[in-house]
Amino acid sequence: MEHLNNLDLFTIMSVTYFIAGIIKGIIGIGLPTTGMAILCFFVNPITALGLNLIPMTISNLWQFYRADNRLQIIKEYKYFVISIIGFLLISSFFAAKIGNQLVSAIFGSMVLLFVITNSLSIKFEKIKVNDVKLQFVFGGLSGLIGGITSLWALPITIYLFIKDVSPKHFVDVSGFFILMGCFPVFLGYYTTDVLSNEMFKYGLMGALFSLIGFYIGEKIRGGIKKDLFKKLLLIFFTFIAIKMIFDAFFK
């Protein structure tokens, strides 16, 4: 795959998703963003999209399996899922067509937007709109963005901030949304060869280490100052976003 041999790619996937799993274990999100950000140092963005999907699917399956009141979550957020799946079925078929440069630009822009909204501590919970409408709007945004960049956590995060849910509920519901989104993306990526048969062995290795990292992240969740961790993470994401936007326009 590109200039990397099997051992190189297995090592990269292991280290990448071990780190991403720790981050996800601590804050509940961030695995696909971290995974894509690191992988794009070694492979092109389209290849990174395919490699990212399997660890993302398995880690969120595990996250939702451990959620409280799974049936209640499914019932309460069914409109969000309907919306995200519908838009992902459309947008995921275009990832391969738009090319590496545009994927880099969109990915970098979305990560930068995520950093800005988190840095400004925007009080989304003050927005008062009918929840069904919110689910359709933010589910659609997640699907539109997610199919092209494999990142649909930003609209999910904003929606759950508006809902002002507890940290545990945030982790449970975000895992459910991302998991449900993985299935239409899997279909779109596999059909358009963004995800190939060769990638499965690397993806499974990444998934294994993401679960190990997730377990460790959960254990240290209470022993680290979240504000400091969040600041360091936002600095890292800012660097990655600027790099990808620069690469998209100047390489």
Identify the pLDDT of residue 123: 58
Q: Please spell the DSSP secondary structure of 30-96, one letter per residue.
A: -HHHHHHHHHTTTS-HHHHHHHHHHHHHHHHHHHHHT-SSHHHHHHHTHHHHHHHHHHHHHHTTSHH
Query: d(Cα 121, Cα 118) in Å, to the nearest integer?
Result: 5
pTM greater than 0.85: no
Q: Of 21, 23, 28, give the one whose Cα is nearest residue 166.
A: 28
Give pLDDT tens digits for 232-251: 667 777 877 887 788 778 76
Nearest Cα residue to 77 out of 162, 161, 177: 177
Q: Is the pLDDT of residue 25 over 80?
A: yes
pLDDT tens track for 84-103: 999 988 888 876 677 767 77
Q: What is the pLDDT of residue 151?
A: 73
Nearest to 242 by CA among 115, 55, 78, 66: 115
